[in-house]
Amino acid sequence: MKHREIENRLLYSVFARNHSEQGTLKEVEADLERIRNLGTDILWLLPVQPSGLQDRKGTDGSPYAIQDYRAIDPNQGTWEDLKSLTDKAHELGMKVIVDVVYNHTSPDSVLVQQHPEWFFTNAEGKRSSLVEDWSDIVDLDYRQPALWDYQIETLKQFAAVVDGFRCDVASRVPAAFWKQAREACETVNPDMFWLAESCHLPFVKFCRDQGRVGESESALSDAAFDVLYDYDAFPDQLLVMENKAPVSQWTEALIRQDAILPPNHIKLRYLENHDQPRAMACSWSDRLWKNWTALLFTLKGLPMLYHGQEQKESHLPSIFDQDPISWNRDPEAENWIRHCKTVRNAFFEPGSPVLYDPDDETGSLAVDRNGCR
């Protein structure tokens, strides 16, 4: 995939546990044609590995508290199911990426049992997380060279099946590791797609203040990643979505983003994801949903949908308990998404400049791009 062409794609994010009553990869595979018909080009699967039991949050545990990097959660399926899903996606013209959670594991993970020396310990000598609220995980220590080898070998196993990775809290893992990992994976699959969850700026500073890794977005982009998260501007976007801030506050953040990051950077654009509230939870009307969706496809970057968004879902499923989406298809919303992507690809050159004309008095935003307004 040529770098700038990524902006003509649409990413669709799925947590298999909540995508159906069964919560399996097979059920996601059965839904691929519908997902593809939205205009989806890349399917992102939230973690497919088993969650740990120790200090588990909720009944089913966070998918980001992984017990075994090299296993598939038996509740979701098998390696064969993952391969079958990927093969079907390829038949439909889509790529499949999986979540990589390399900053931490569950406290009872295979790596804790086999290599306890690969983890940070606190002042009491106990393995722990730097973030107090993340009580169901323990942090890995990338000062251990053998850890790099293990993690990269694991990625190569997945690269033989899928087409790329979304890397969780990528800012907390050394950029040099990601560079080495990408180079190694390209020997298995030369056309991999890499998405970094680059972190909120205050969080990066917090990590650095604690003497831990806190990589900048420029470092991540230079090292390995095709697309970066939008957490430097999304907080301002969310305030506007909730009608708590002037539109100009967000557009100023977007302008800073364009000025500070390398000219070839690509941002992930979204209205919601598994960590953020549903857009319709902002008490939007159907018309406002349509306007924001159209704006999503107007901005520079790679647009993303979170499963359920295409039916204007207002309930954000729990990631700690099985909480399946109640599917009630909205043909009008699905058609609008398809239309927005068609217009985007027909009229906007990837990477072309965007001019913002916010009106704080009316709470509106006009966008100029490629001669279109």
Residue 323: partners with Cβ closer than 8 Å, 6 or more residues away? 18, 317
Average pLDDT (230-237) is: 96
Mean pLDDT of the residues in the chain: 96
Q: Nearest 10 degrees: CA dihedral of 140, 143, 148, 149?
A: -120
The torsion angles phi and psi of 45, rounded to 5 degrees, stand at -95, 120
The helix-helix angle for 286-296 and 331-347 (nearest 10°) equals: 30
Residue 311: partners with Cβ closer than 8 Å, 6 or more residues away? 327, 328, 329, 330, 333, 334
Angle formed at CA 330 by CA 324 and CA 334, multiple of 5 degrees: 105
Provide the sign of the torsion angle of the four alpha carbons 321, 17, 266, 163, taken in this order. positive
CB-CB contact of 147 with 118 (8 Å)? yes
pLDDT tens, 239-248? 999 999 999 9
For the chain, what percent of residues have pLDDT higher than 70?
99
pLDDT tens, 39-78? 999 999 999 999 999 999 999 999 999 999 999 999 999 9
pLDDT score of 1 more than 70: no
Cα–Cα distance, 351 to 332 (Å, whole number): 29
What is the Rg, in whole angstroms, of the alpha carbon atoms belonging to the chain?
A: 20
313: confidence class by pLDDT, cuts 50, 70, 90? very high
Cα–Cα distance, 223 to 32 (Å, whole number): 32
Cα–Cα distance, 44 to 13 (Å, whole number): 5
* Strand 193-196 to 42-45 pairing: unpaired
Who has greater pLDDT, 309 or 263? Answer: 309
Task: Quote the pLDDT of residue 37.
Answer: 98
> Which residues is 194 bridged to in the sheet?
165
- DSSP letters for 21-62: SS--HHHHHHTHHHHHHTT--EEEEPP-SPBPSTT--TTT--
Amino acid at 96: V
Task: Quote the pLDDT of residue 123.
Answer: 87
pLDDT tens, 74-90? 999 999 999 999 999 99
| Residue 78 CB-density burial (10 A; 0-12 exposed, 13-18 middle, 19+ buried) | middle
Residue 364 CB neighbour total at 10 angstroms: 11
Cα–Cα distance, 185 to 310 (Å, whole number): 33
Helix H or strand E segment including 366: strand 364-368
| Structural domains of the chain sorted by starting position, each given as residue range(s) with its CATH number in brackets | 4-52+63-103+146-368 (3.20.20.80)
CB-CB contact of 234 with 198 (8 Å)? no
